[in-house]
Chain A
């Protein structure tokens, strides 16, 4: 397993004699630091988890970690494809009983579940999770997701100490809402609602680095910025996989180096995905796609150009439709490299569109400037906003060209990092069209429609509705679709997606991005969890 090649490597390569001396001394040290069987090493290029405390963790990587360490009320199974998007009870014995017109959810918690320190999991641990989340001292990012839970606002506004809408009753755990929420179960799969042991999880605004977990793994140690260690929960009795005994994450590695280290087996993978996008085509040729070491899967994400309906250039439906014909989607997508994503002209990613995904409402195969001109003969001046990375600049160049071809006069403005969202999120911002993208928080279409397209949420600042669309009919249709639970929910939103794209065209949707994963030569058990939209860490093991 470990390379011993250096014994045979031509020593003439050693330019510095000091080096040789050091190497001789380190020979023994090297072999003792070998991978014990069952330990997976990961290199996380340029990223650390933001937090390991489930009340604060809010990132793709930290949620991958929480997925392994958290016991949720309901969750998605460690499976790929359709099965992986099917909600299942986790701590609950069965799916909840919904009553009171969709406003009360009653879960029955299984008996005998244990935390990694041996303590028993009780419904009170879920109550504590809500109270901890809502506590103003914690400043948890969960607040926007739980304002519909009875009593949360009082706690946030320091009028009450505990959330009255959640309570434990024997083995029962009950949630009361102020209004029905069809997405509640999907929201509950977020790690914010992970069972936490009250005695070991005080209110701490800095967040806890280690805490007992009731999932298949627990966080054994964390050195911020450098390392995170997961170990198998010895008390875990559930059926979720934990195929390696230990997982060690080295944080903030260099992307190029990590790619090399995955190639030679030092690391099992970078949990954030392939580090060198330009290597994707070569890897596909060498290993095939989704066969052994190179994996491509669709994220629950949409890249789009928001058309500012509040400004003149794209104030009319015809102008917005014209923009949809003008933009060369394949060209813009190609900038993301090999298998960077799948082009689309609708709003929802495939997993949330209930079978309506893939309808070619606008030209997805290329630009149609003639049609665009015909729809919008007097395009005029257009302000295009975007990022300042190399990728962003390439894409801006393409769109600028496309719009110019369609008769517009384009001015590009570039922003560094997050500044574009602060600027564009301020009502009255003077962009006409801007690059944006939305990655799910929880796998439900309301996470797209409710946040990005519901005009009733437009405020003076911090808007996510970058199209600034406020259409009464759309708002009504969103409410109608959101009231539906179960089977018909995704279908209803899929239909709404087609209607919105056709009748309002607030976006020029470009693509749904792919996750490209690359795993080490000695690693097996790769599973893409579609609802979490990430590599499943618990199923990986060393061959």
Chain B
């Protein structure tokens, strides 16, 4: 049994303008100790997928359908009390913006101790000892003094370390990291990613890493889900995605990888903007931006199906295998050339 199995997850928000289908039929699963990368532009539904799993959407205007089985229990239908028991204890989450994700009026010690004591019957002293331990593990210098400081006294990178400490303090089975490095500078990004990687090994947690950065995914993920406009465009093991990408959107993402070393013209660039989820395009949702668009793309929404050679590698595109193969080769060759 996978640790988490998400089946046909749908999350709809009702707004004044109508229903926004933020997640529209997403499925994936993750095993203990594995790392899953979810990639996509902002607004593709990757964050909402995770917030739905955590039960953190505003219940007043949200409808969620499908299943999210965590150790066989459906997170979407369980009681709020049971969900609270799991949250922060078995499933923990790190958020995108460490500047705003910590409560400004409490010391970080207080917030860490709160996280422990919500789930464990510890004294404040024991909780504080555990908090200190975690702060040291995440590499906060002089943790004994800094534990009584307030969030505004920390830098962004240090705050994200505090967030990671807070997420790991109860030794969770699953850690969801929602773009944990986006708000940080490049050097700090690398440090934080290395930290997550190391701690994952130490704690043997499963990690869902949400990002728009394929580079991050390539580094740490075992499996990759590429999302576009609330749907899965491509899903498979990391080698398959990077060596044999089979969706034009994935090509676009790879083509837009930041390349500091070359001024060669990019082979593929994604034109236009992500579509509105209030009124998504007919057929394939990517078709308005797709350079390979065909008539069928405008009519029929392609189903997510295995590629010919790998049953674990799923993609949703009407292009024939040959074309996909050829184009992927070209892309990869171009990237190599650029890199050399």
Within 8 Å by CB, do A and B touch in the complex? no
- Residues of A with Cβ closer than 8 Å to B? none
- Residues of B with Cβ closer than 8 Å to A? none
